[in-house]
C-alpha cells in the first residue's frame, strides 16, 4: 500500500521515473576524495532544493556510502589552500565565480562524520541542546594584528557618533555581547533554522566564546531560550548586519517557540553601517571579510563561506559526512572579528591603537566620516581639513572641500573661505558639488564681501551647471530665485549710484 501510494504520488507530481532518453548510469567511482561524490556541496548552496538535483545524481544510498568512505580517508586534514581560495577576495553567493571560489575553499575543509567535536550538552527547562565553549585570556589573545584587550580604550562617543544611534551613547564593549548566527538560508520565513548561534563576551580577564548548536531541529526551543537568556544578561548587543538579519531570524524563531525575544529596547551596535561610513568607497564592498582584511590585518586561512552553511547542517542531519567543523570555525572567527572591529570603531576618533600606532585603513575616509558626524563646527572643520590633507580623492575630496569652504564662510573666516572656494572650483567647476560651491561662493560674495556683481555671476554659474546636471525643478527654482534677487539688488545699487 505504502509503495503504491508513493508511486501514485510521484506520478501525479510528475516526479516519478521520467521516460528519460538517457538511462541513469552512475558515474565511475571517484578516484580521490577531492572530486567528491553526489552530494558535493556544489549542489545545494544556491538555494536549489536537493530534490531538483537528486534525480540527476547517484542513488541516495550509494552516494551516502561513497561519501562516507571519502570522508573517512581524508582524516589527515588537508590544509593546503586552493588557488584563489579562502581569504583571497570576498564572496558573493550566487555568482559563478563566487561559487567556484567557494568550492575551492570548501574543498580545503575536510568532511567529518557524526557530531562535531568538543560539544557539551546543556539541559534546561525546555530540553537539551549542545554547546561549544572556549575561553581566551583577554590580555594575550589576538585576532589579526589586534589584541582583544584593545577594546579597553574604545570610546562610546566615537561609536555612537559613527553609528548615528543615540542609544549607543553609553555602550561598554567590555559588557556587550557579540552575536553571529548560521542559518539554513537567507530567504527568511518560518522554515529557516538558526542552527548555530555564536556569542562572545568578557568575563573578568577572559574572553568567552560560546557556540550553541542544534544537534537536531527538536532542540530549537531549548537553544533559543538559552540564547535569549544570555543576550538579556548583557546591556547591549554587537553584530554585523544583525539588525537586518540575525536579529529577525532569532526573533521570528523565538516568537514561534514562545520565547520572549531579548532585542526590543536593548542597544544594538550593527557594525555594518558605521564601518561602511568609515570606509565608503575605499573597498570593493562592505563585507565583513573585506573589512577585517583591510582594517584588522586578519586573513582567514581556511574559511568555509557562509553560503555553504545550510548544506553542512543538512548533510550532518542526514548522517552524511559534513563540513560543520568548518562552520564552527568560521562562526568563531566572525564573532572575534566583531570584537576587534568594535574596538576599531571605538578608536576611530582617537585614531590610534593601544600601542600608540595609528589605525590601519583609509585615513581620509575616516576623517570624512568623522567630519560628517561631528557635532560642532570647529570639529567638523578640523576633520574636513584632516581629510583633505590626508589625501582624500574623488567624490570624498569634493565633499570635504565643500564642507570646509562652507564652514569657513559661516565662521566668518572670509579670506580663507574665499581661498577654499576658489581652490575647489579651480579643480572642477562642473559637477554637482560645483553647484553648491558656486552657491556658497555667491553667498560669501553677497553677505561678507558685499560684491553683488560677482555674487550674481556665481549664482548664474550655479544655475547653468544645475541645468546641465539636470537637477530637479525644486533645485533650479531655488537657484533662479537667488539669481533674480541678486539681479534686482544690483539694479537698485546702480540706481543709487
Partner 1 sequence: MKGEANGEPAAQSGGPRRARRRLGVEGIAKRLRSEVPWKSRIVHWRTAPARPGRTEAWPAALDPRLVDVFKRKGVPEPYAHQARAIERALAGDDVLVATPTASGKTICYTAPVLQSLLEASEGGPGKRGARALFLYPTKALSQDQTVGLTALVESLIEHHGESTGAADWHAFTYDGDTPPSIRRTLRDRGHMVLTNPYMLHQGILPNHAKWAELFRDLRYIVVDEVHTLSGVFGSSVANVLRRLVRVARHYGANPQFLASSATVADPAAHASRLFGRPVTVIDEDASPAGKRIFGVYEPPVVNPVAGLRANALEEARDLAREVCGPGHQTIFFAGRRTAVEVLTRYLKESAQRLGLRPSEIRGYRGGYLPDMRREIEAGLKDGKIKVVVSTNALELGVDIGALDVAVLVGYPGSQASFWQRAGRVGRRGRASLVIQIAKSEPTDQFLVHHPEYLFDAPREKLGVDPDNLVLLSEHVKCAAFELPFRAELEVAPSEPGGEALGETLADEPEFDSAPHVPEILDYLADESGFLHRRADTWYWMADAYPAQDVSLAGGDIDNVLILELGTEKAIGETDRESSITTVHEGAIYQVQGVTWRVERFDYKNRRAYVTEVESDYYTDAQTDTEVRVLRLEHRESRPMALGPVQPEVEPAADAVEQGPTEDFSAWRGEVHVTTVATLYKKIRFYTRENVGAGDIHLPPEELDTEAFILTMSEESAAKLGLDGGDRGSAWRALGDLVRRVAPLFIRCQPSDLGLSSHVKSPHFGRPTIFLYDKVQGGVGLSELLFGAYRDLFGAALDVVEKCSCDIGCPACVGPVAEAGPTGKECVTRLLKHLAGGALPEPAPIGEGDDEPEILGEEAEFGPLPRGAATTGL
Binding site for partner 1 (CB under 8 A): 2, 5-6, 8-15, 44-45, 47-51, 54, 184-185, 187-191, 193, 216-218, 251-253, 255-256, 310-311, 314, 317-318
Give the C-alpha separation, 109 to 329, whole Å. Answer: 10
The residues that bridge with 213 in the sheet, in sequence order, are 130, 196
Contact criterion met (CB below 8 Å) for 197 and 223:
yes
In 3D, which of 305, 286, 275, 296 has the Cα closest to residue 88?
305
Question: Which C-beta is closer to partner 1: that of 91 or that of 483?
Answer: 91
Tell me the closest approach of the beta carbon of residue 58 to partner 1, in angstroms: 14
Tell me the closest approach of the beta carbon of residue 119 to partner 1, in angstroms: 18
Tell me the closest approach of the beta carbon of residue 9 to partner 1, in angstroms: 5
- Kindly report the number of other CB atoms within 10 A of residue 120's CB atom: 8
Please return the burial class of 2, using the count of CB atoms within 10 Å of its CB with bins 0-12, 13-18 and 19+: exposed
The residues that bridge with 142 in the sheet, in sequence order, are 147
Question: Which C-beta is closer to partner 1: that of 157 or that of 215?
Answer: 215
Tell me the closest approach of the beta carbon of residue 428 to partner 1, in angstroms: 36
Tell me the closest approach of the beta carbon of residue 190 to partner 1, in angstroms: 5
Sign of the CA dihedral running 412, 418, 419, 420? positive
DSSP E strand stretches across 125-259: 127-137, 142-143, 146-147, 177-183, 194-203, 206-213, 237-239
Tell me the closest approach of the beta carbon of residue 56 to partner 1, in angstroms: 13
In 3D, which of 63, 69, 2, 19 has the Cα closest to residue 37?
63
Question: Which C-beta is closer to partner 1: that of 144 or that of 261?
Answer: 261
Using the structure block, give the residue that is written with the C-alpha cell 543576550: 231
Question: Which C-beta is closer to partner 1: that of 126 or that of 457?
Answer: 126
Question: Which C-beta is closer to partner 1: that of 12 or that of 123?
Answer: 12
Question: Which C-beta is closer to partner 1: that of 50 or that of 119?
Answer: 50
DSSP assignment of 193-214: -EEEEEEEEEETTEEEEEEEE-
- What is the chain's percent helix, strand, coil content, to nearest 5? 50, 10, 40
SS3 category, 128? strand
Tell me the closest approach of the beta carbon of residue 427 to partner 1, in angstroms: 39
Tell me the closest approach of the beta carbon of residue 30 to partner 1, in angstroms: 21
Question: Which C-beta is closer to partner 1: that of 236 or that of 307?
Answer: 307
Question: Which C-beta is closer to partner 1: that of 251 or that of 395?
Answer: 251
In 3D, which of 426, 424, 429, 438 has the Cα closest to residue 482?
438
Amino acid at each position: 500500500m505504502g509503495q503504491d501510494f508513493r508511486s501514485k504520488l510521484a506520478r501525479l507530481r510528475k516526479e516519478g521515473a521520467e521516460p528519460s532518453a538517457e538511462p541513469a548510469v552512475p558515474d565511475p567511482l571517484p578516484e580521490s576524495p577531492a572530486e567528491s561524490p553526489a552530494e558535493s556541496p556544489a549542489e545545494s548552496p544556491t538555494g536549489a532544493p536537493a530534490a531538483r538535483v537528486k534525480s540527476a545524481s547517484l542513488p541516495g544510498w550509494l552516494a551516502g556510502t561513497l561519501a562516507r568512505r571519502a570522508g573517512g580517508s581524508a582524516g589527515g586534514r588537508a590544509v593546503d589552500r586552493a588557488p584563489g581560495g579562502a581569504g583571497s577576495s570576498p564572496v558573493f553567493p550566487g555568482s559563478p565565480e563566487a561559487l567556484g571560489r567557494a568550492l575551492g575553499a570548501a574543498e580545503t575543509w575536510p568532511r567529518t562524520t557524526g557530531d562535531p567535536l568538543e560539544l557539551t550538552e546543556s539541559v534546561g527547562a525546555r530540553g537539551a541542546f549542545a554547546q561549544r565553549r572556549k575561553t581566551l585570556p583577554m590580555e594575550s589573545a589576538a585576532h589579526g594584528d589586534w589584541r582583544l584587550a584593545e577594546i579597553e580604550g574604545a570610546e562610546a562617543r566615537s561609536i555612537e557618533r559613527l553609528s548615528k544611534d543615540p542609544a549607543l551613547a553609553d555602550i561598554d564593549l567590555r559588557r556587550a555581547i557579540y552575536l553571529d548566527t548560521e542559518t539554513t538560508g537567507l530567504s527568511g520565513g518560518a522554515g529557516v533554522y538558526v542552527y548555530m548561534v555564536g556569542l562572545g563576551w568578557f568575563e573578568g580577564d577572559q574572553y568567552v566564546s560560546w557556540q550553541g548548536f542544534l544537534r537536531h531541529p527538536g532542540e530549537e526551543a531549548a537553544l533559543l531560550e538559552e540564547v535569549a537568556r544570555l543576550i538579556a544578561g548583557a546591556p547591549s548587543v554587537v553584530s554585523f548586519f544583525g539588525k537586518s538579519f540575525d536579529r529577525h531570524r532569532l526573533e521570528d524563531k523565538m516568537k514561534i517557540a514562545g520565547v520572549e525575544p531579548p532585542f526590543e529596547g536593548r542597544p544594538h551596535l550593527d557594525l555594518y553601517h558605521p564601518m561602511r561610513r568609515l570606509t565608503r568607497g575605499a573597498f570593493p564592498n562592505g563585507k565583513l571579510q573585506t573589512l577585517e582584511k583591510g582594517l584588522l590585518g586578519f586573513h582567514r586561512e581556511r574559511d568555509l563561506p557562509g553560503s555553504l552553511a545550510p548544506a553542512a547542517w543538512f548533510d550532518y542531519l542526514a548522517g552524511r559526512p559534513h563540513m560543520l567543523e568548518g562552520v564552527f570555525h568560521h562562526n568563531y572567527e566572525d564573532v572575534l572579528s566583531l570584537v576587534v572591529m568594535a574596538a576599531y570603531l571605538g578608536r576611530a576618533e582617537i585614531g590610534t591603537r593601544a600601542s600608540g600606532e595609528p589605525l590601519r585603513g583609509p585615513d581620509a575616509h575616516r576623517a570624512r566620516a568623522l567630519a560628517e558626524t561631528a557635532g560642532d563646527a570647529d570639529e567638523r572643520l578640523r576633520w574636513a581639513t584632516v581629510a583633505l590633507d590626508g589625501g582624500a580623492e574623488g567624490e570624498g575630496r569634493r565633499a570635504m572641500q565643500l564642507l570646509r569652504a562652507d564652514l569657513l564662510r559661516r565662521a566668518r573666516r572670509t579670506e580663507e573661505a574665499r581661498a577654499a572656494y576658489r581652490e575647489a572650483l579651480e579643480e572642477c567647476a562642473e559637477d554637482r558639488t560645483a553647484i553648491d560651491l558656486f552657491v556658497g561662493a555667491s553667498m560669501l560674495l553677497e553677505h561678507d564681501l558685499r560684491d553683488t556683481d560677482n555674487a550674481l555671476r556665481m549664482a548664474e554659474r550655479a544655475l547653468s551647471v544645475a541645468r546641465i546636471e539636470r537637477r530637479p525643478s525644486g533645485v533650479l527654482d531655488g537657484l533662479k530665485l537667488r539669481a533674480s534677487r541678486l539681479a534686482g539688488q544690483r539694479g537698485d545699487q546702480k540706481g543709487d549710484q
